[in-house]
Structures are given as C-alpha cells and as structure tokens.
C-alpha cells in the first residue's frame, strides 16, 4: 500500500507504509513507565507489580462508528476515552489502577499520527491515576477498535462489589452525570464546537474523589456508571438483593447541561438518568458521606415494587445502553 498524499499536499504516513514493527517502536517511545512496571513493552508479555497478592482486571472495547467517530473525535480523544472506561472500572472495585494493555485494530491506510495520538491519550489518561501503558497488540482491520485491559491493586482492602448495598444505606453519585450524553446530542445536531461536546469526546472522571473515598472504606457497594445511572444502580440492587429508590429532584443537572437541553428542546433528565459515558461512580454508603458525593436516593427492602425506581418521577423507558439492540 503506497503512501497517500492528501488533497492539501501534506504527505501522510500510513500504518502499512510504516510497518508493524516500526509503528510499535514509534508508540513505545511515547510511553512513560511508572513504578509498578517490572517489565515494560517489547517482550512476549509485561510484568506489573501486584503488591497486594491479587490483581484487579477489566476490559472495555471501543469500536469506531459505535463509540466514537473519527470526524468527531481525535486519536488523542479516543485514547483518553478508551483508557477512562477501563480505569474507572478498576477504581469502582476499590482499587488503585497500575497498568493498561491495549489491543488496537485499525485499517492499514490509517495515518500513523492518529495511532501516535491514541497512544498519547492512553498514556495521559493513565497518568492521571499513576498507571502506565505496559503492552499491547496491533493488527489490521477494516474499522478501528481499541480494547483496553486495566489492572489495579487493592492495597489489602476487600474489593467493593455490587453486592454490598444494605437497607438504609444512602445512594450517592461522585462525578459528572449526563455530560457525555449531552455532548453526543450536541454533536449529532451539528453543534460539535460547543465545549460540552468535549464531554462525549473524552470524559472527565472523578478519579481522585473516588480513590479517596474507597481508600477510606466509605462504600458498601460501588459501580462505574457506564450503562446509565438507573441501569447500573439496578445492577447494584439486583446483586445486593435490595431495592433502590432514587429522587429525581436530587439528580444534579449542571448549568451547562440545562442550557444545552433548552437549546435542543430536550428534557435533560434522560441524559442524567440514562446516559452512560461520563464514568461517574454510583454507590451506597452507610456511614459518613465521602467528599464529592451527592445523595440521590436510598436503599429499601426488596419486594413491593421494581428493584429500581424514582419516588418523584417515572423511570425512564431507556434503562441503559444495550449494545446489540436496534433502538
């Protein structure tokens, strides 16, 4: 596959013209390895510290055309977003993220600079929590996909699962909700130049607040909101064999979101209750409220109604993102 030259005349180096091994070299030189890395990229596998004697592990896959569009998001944006999805899952288990490995599939004609920007985004998002990109695999495919596996260390604590919510606990949210959904709506309506559209391109995850809260043992249960607040708290309720009642009036609707909703003539509540890509943390607490947490509901005994619902509003029809439904 020969190099292409863009209409503007700029010379473009594609993945195929660069070749796999030089591409890997280009990417590896952009990474920075933290203290948890025992063996970094370049061998059959990486070796990462797991001082706790256990390792937390999770994977998320982002696919072009489903989770991002190249005309809306840069390679850097996609790197940030892909890393955030997995890092937030590690934090939601109560662990400190240590490392990422990345499976990257892309068309042979993709510009090398896009892949480099992706690596930069992965590196920078990981750096927010002190984690490093330690390995990966690159292969050709018709569309871009990025599979990020993240690891974490529990520092001797129990993992914070979905199954620990107790009747009487308060239900709390840490971090933005509704921003990514609002940003996507702006992009879909041709308003991608608004600052809020960046919330779709890459989330701003409340890692520090969530890490501090889990380190202090604040949560009885915790999830990363990836399918939507109602759907994910529904998972908590089911796993904990309790019911959850949310107060719609307590859900924070930030000014930026209210303004975008007004402009688009849309009720912002659906974004806040069912939007997924902000990677907020939702959980239950029995003791002191952790810093940055907003109380949005309470845990009640199971039975006598749906496992999740609102006391002051109908539950949204779209209870979360189903990747294979056509709706």
Within residues 191-250, the interface with its own copies by CB under 8 A covers 222-224, 239
Distance, in Å, from the CA atom of 138 to the CA atom of 141, rounded to the nearest integer, reads: 10
Q: Smallest distance, Å, CB 126 to its own copies?
A: 14
Q: Of the two residues 210 and 285, which places its CB atom closer to its own copies in the complex?
A: 210
Q: Which residue has the tokens 């303004």?
A: 259
Q: Smallest distance, Å, CB 65 to its own copies?
A: 8
Q: Smallest distance, Å, CB 253 to its own copies?
A: 25
Q: Smallest distance, Å, CB 311 to its own copies?
A: 25
Distance, in Å, from the CA atom of 132 to the CA atom of 27, rounded to the nearest integer, reads: 13
Beta bridge partners of 300: 243
Residues 158-187, one symbol each (x = binds its own copies by CB under 8 A, - = not), give -x-xxx------------------------
Q: Which residue has the tokens 């529990």?
A: 154
Q: Of the two residues 23 and 261, which places its CB atom closer to its own copies in the complex?
A: 23
Residues 14-33, one symbol each (x = binds its own copies by CB under 8 A, - = not), give xxx-xxxx-x----------
Q: Contact between 255 and its own copies (CB under 8 A)?
A: no
Q: Of the two residues 140 and 311, which places its CB atom closer to its own copies in the complex?
A: 140
Which span (54-62, 167-175, 289-297, 301-309) binds its own copies, by CB under 8 A?
A: 54-62
Which span (13-21, 265-273, 297-305, 310-318) binds its own copies, by CB under 8 A?
A: 13-21
Based on C-alpha coordinates, what's the Rg of the chain?
21
Q: Smallest distance, Å, CB 119 to its own copies?
A: 14
Residues 69-108, one symbol each (x = binds its own copies by CB under 8 A, - = not), give -------------------xxx-xx-x---x-xxxxx--x
The pairing of strands 132-140 and 96-106 is parallel
- At 244, give phi and psi (nearest 5°): -125, 130
Looking at residues 261 to 320 of the shown chain, list those that interact with its own copies (rule: CB under 8 A): none
Size of the site for its own copies (CB under 8 A): 79
Beginning with the edge strand found earlier in the chain, give each strand of the sheet holding 170-174 in spatial order: 219-224, 281-285, 170-174, 293-300, 243-246, 308-310
Q: Which two tokens stand for residue 78?
A: 């996609």
**Which residues make Cβ contacts (< 8 Å) with residue 177, sequence separation at least 6?**
225, 229, 251, 252, 272, 275, 278, 280
Q: Smallest distance, Å, CB 225 to its own copies?
A: 10
Looking at residues 116 to 155 of the shown chain, list those that interact with its own copies (rule: CB under 8 A): 134-143, 145, 147, 149-152, 154
**Which residues make Cβ contacts (< 8 Å) with residue 111, sequence separation at least 6?**
12, 13, 14, 15
Contact yes or no for 177/280 (Cβ under 8 A): yes
Q: Of the two residues 194 and 321, which places its CB atom closer to its own copies in the complex?
A: 321
Q: Which two tokens stand for residue 39?
A: 């063996």
Q: Of the two residues 56 and 261, which places its CB atom closer to its own copies in the complex?
A: 56
Map residue 152 onto helix, strand or coil. strand
Out of 5, 25, 29, 45, which residue is the one contacting its own copies (CB under 8 A)? 45
Contact yes or no for 33/134 (Cβ under 8 A): yes
């Amino acid at each position: 596959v020969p190099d292409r030259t863009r209409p503007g005349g700029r010379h473009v180096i594609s993945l195929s013209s660069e070749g796999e091994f030089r591409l890997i070299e280009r990417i590896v030189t952009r990474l920075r390895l933290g203290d948890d890395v025992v063996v970094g990229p370049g061998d059959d596998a990486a070796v990462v510290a797991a001082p706790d004697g256990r390792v937390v592990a999770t994977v998320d896959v982002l696919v072009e055309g489903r989770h991002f569009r190249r005309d809306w998001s840069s390679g850097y944006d996609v790197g940030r977003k892909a890393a955030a999805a997995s890092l937030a899952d590690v934090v939601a288990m109560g662990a400190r993220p240590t490392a990422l490995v990345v499976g990257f599939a892309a068309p042979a004609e993709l510009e090398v600079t896009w892949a480099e920007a992706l690596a930069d985004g992965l590196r920078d998002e990981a750096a927010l929590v002190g984690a490093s990109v330690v390995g990966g695999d690159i292969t050709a495919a018709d569309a871009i996909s990025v599979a990020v596996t993240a690891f974490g260390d529990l520092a001797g604590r129990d993992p914070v699962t979905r199954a620990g919510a107790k009747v009487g606990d308060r239900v709390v949210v840490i971090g933005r909700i509704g921003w990514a959904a609002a940003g996507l709506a702006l992009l879909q309506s041709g308003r991608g130049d608004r600052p809020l559209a960046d919330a779709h391109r890459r989330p701003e995850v409340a890692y520090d607040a969530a890490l501090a809260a889990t380190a202090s043992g604040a949560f009885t249960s915790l999830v990363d909101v990836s399918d939507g607040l109602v759907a994910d708290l529904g998972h908590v309720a089911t796993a904990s064999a309790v019911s959850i009642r949310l107060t719609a009036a307590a859900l924070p609707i930030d000014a930026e979101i209210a303004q975008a909703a007004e402009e688009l003539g849309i009720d912002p509540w659906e974004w806040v209750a069912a939007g997924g890509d902000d990677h907020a943390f939702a959980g239950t607490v029995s003791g002191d409220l952790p810093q940055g947490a907003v109380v949005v509901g309470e845990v009640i005994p199971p039975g006598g109604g749906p496992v999740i619902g609102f006391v002051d509003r109908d539950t949204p029809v779209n209870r979360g993102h189903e990747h294979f439904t056509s709706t």
